[in-house]
Chains A and B, each alone.
Chain A
Amino acid sequence: MKLTIKVDPDLCIGAASCVTIDPATFLLNEENKVYVLDHGEAPGGQVYERVIEMTEDEKETLILSAQSCPTLAIFIYDEAGEQIYPDM
């Protein structure tokens, strides 16, 4: 499935829980904000939003990492553009 992953840099405080849980998708930049990776790679540079092809297992890890974010700075949307996290 294709998921859109977005980080709000204004909310991200560099707590890095997301990086710990899902290092293939998140990495900290020099401003102490995370940017989004595609399976460990950053084609096109450090961006805060990416569409990524993911397996069900990878999606699970991604959601766990988003859930661990203390500022709810990570947003995940499905192919139809529906927000799947934060869902509350």
Chain B
Amino acid sequence: MAKQFVIIGGGIAGTTAADQIRKIDADASITIIDEEFHPLYSRILLVHYLEEKVPRERVFMKKLEWYTKNNIELMSGVIAKAIDTKNKFVTTSDDRELPYDELLITTGGELRMIEDDRRGIAYFRSMDDADYILKLVNELRAQPKKDWHGLIYGGGFIAIEFIKIFDHYNIPMTIMMRGDGFWSRVLSDHSKKVLADHAKAGGVTIINGVKEFDFIGEGDFEGVVVDGKEIKGQMLGVGIGMQSKAAFVREAGIEMDQGIVANSFLETSTDNVYTAGDIAQYEDVSAGRSMVAGNWMKAVMQGRVVAQTMTGTRTEFELVSSYSTHLMGKEIVFIGDTDRSAADKVVQHVAEAGDSVELFERDGRTVGALFIGSVKERQAITNAIKKSEIYAR
């Protein structure tokens, strides 16, 4: 009988795995369960769509025909609610019970949210979020120009995406950060200063140390009150990080910590259950420890590798992954393991006025690096990390 592969989560990790499984096994039954109502699209292109660089349809990476052509069943708008790992089936929100031989969980991260959910507050994870942001931006721009003001809460990747959007539409903005700068727990003081200076030069107002704030009024979003001071604005973009709760996975008895725990082959604690992408807490061979990392490249490569293992060719995952973005034109690149608390030593390798390079070292080797501004040494440092060497400074 044809083997039954069930994949929970139709993002890039799950879809890449489905594609690879189909290439390896022409007869397999492959089902993807995905909460969203869209075929695969690139979350990274969403901001390009909002910046009017590409039309909305260009954000999609697969058409529905692709799934049909490859005989992959896509259950859109369906949530996986429970897993019975003993009898090997998944229960879905439309009350189906899907039996599996091999199960892959690629549900990605979940957004951290603030308590209030009034109209005008936006998050940024999905195509639907992007459509909503565009709607709010258009409403804002319908106001007299002198009143335009966009607010942002957070200081990480998603906050930076909101800066790009407001910047594109020339909307004056204020960013409220919980810590003392961008990525307050990851970056050195110098790196934070380079970014803050660059943002300020671009006209961004930054308020640090905002642990909490109130809202003006009771209805739609009109602004916030920070330390007793009112800041008016038409919308609030929230980007305060991701978490990996996946309660239904934990309830199924599959080991979870900061993500779904897996070995370097992406096998979980439970037989025939695998994980990949942002939700996976995997044994990273090049970092030499168990870690979670949310980036596109890793999700793609793990999707490919896990498909091998699931179809019988056990393959170890090994990659020095990276995440690139930019703040108003200033390049920002994170490579490998940039968890400050897990490093023995962090070296400020470059500390120029507009540039910063930090090297993360552990057990006598370079395990990660981050670049702000100049990325000249990116390839050389990546090579050193790959070879488990210390980058010769």
Residue ranges of A at the interface with B (Cβ–Cβ < 8 Å): 10-11, 13-17, 20, 27-28, 30-32, 68, 70-72, 86, 88
Contacts and interface: CB of A to CB of B under 8 A. Distances in A.
A16 B333 CA distance: 11
Contact of A30 (B54, B61, B301, B375): B375
B61 A88 contact: yes
A11 B44 contact: no
Contacts of B45: 70-72
Interface string B47-61: 010000110001011
A20 B61 CA distance: 20
7 contacts: A14-B375, A16-B322, A28-B375, A28-B378, A68-B301, A70-B44, A71-B45
B63 interface: yes
Contacts of B378: 28, 32
B301 A72 contact: no
Contacts of A72: 42, 45, 58, 61
B133 to A, nearest CB: 18
B297 interface: yes
A31 B376 CA distance: 8
A88 B63 contact: yes
A15 B324 contact: yes
A44 to B, nearest CB: 20
Nearest to A60: B23
B329 to A, nearest CB: 11
A3 B325 CA distance: 30
Identify the 7 closest CB pairs spanning chains A and B, nearest first: A70-B44, A17-B297, A14-B324, A70-B296, A68-B300, A32-B375, A88-B63
Given A10-B53, A11-B53, A71 B324 contact: no
A11 B54 CA distance: 9
Contacts of A31: 375
B54 A15 contact: no
A15 B294 CA distance: 13
A88 B58 CA distance: 10
B3 interface: no
B285 to A, nearest CB: 15
